[in-house]
Amino acid sequence: MKEIYLAGGCFWGTQKFIDQFDGVLETAVGYANGKTENPSYEDVCHRDTGHAETVRIRYDENILPTQTLLRYYFMTIDPLSVNRQGGDFGTQYRTGIYYTDRSLIADISRVIGEETDKAGRSLAVEVRPLENFWEAEEYHQKYLDKNPLGYCHIPRNLLHLNK
């Protein structure tokens, strides 16, 4: 099992999108790489905690290779946008790829290189080691499964690619 953390704007849509793929074993939404411990959603939105809305993904790399997972991720973000995805803006909506396993760096670097070549300029996607991750409140977990008509910046057709 491998683990990676992806920040792609509002975490509801990123979780729903990632959950559809074979090889994804578990996801959880939360707050990553901020400067306070165990923040609440209110803290992240209104108290400058520095956290990014992020999805922790545990996956089987034999079924879903890291490069494939990251190429899917790039389907749902604007990699040139700074602190904004869709209608959401603020540092908590920045894009980022965070890792705890240094063996993922080569795969991450390859996909970042491909996406940089496509864009023709540097990306606004952070690539950093994970400093911390705090799971979000229960009502945020699998939010779009519980609220199918809830807000999502990702086009709805992308949420059902693998069905």
- By three-state DSSP, how is residue 64 classified? coil
Q: Which residue intervals of the chain are DSSP H helices?
A: 11-19, 41-46, 66-75, 105-119, 143-146
C-alpha closest to that of 13 among 87, 109, 97 = 87
Active site residues: 10
Which tokens belong to 57? 């993904």
Strand partners, 128: 98
How far is Cα 84 from Cα 136, in angstroms, rounded to an integer? Answer: 20
How far is Cα 7 from Cα 94, in angstroms, rounded to an integer? Answer: 7
Name the maximum alpha-carbon separation found in the chain: 41
CB 5 within 8 A of CB 134: no
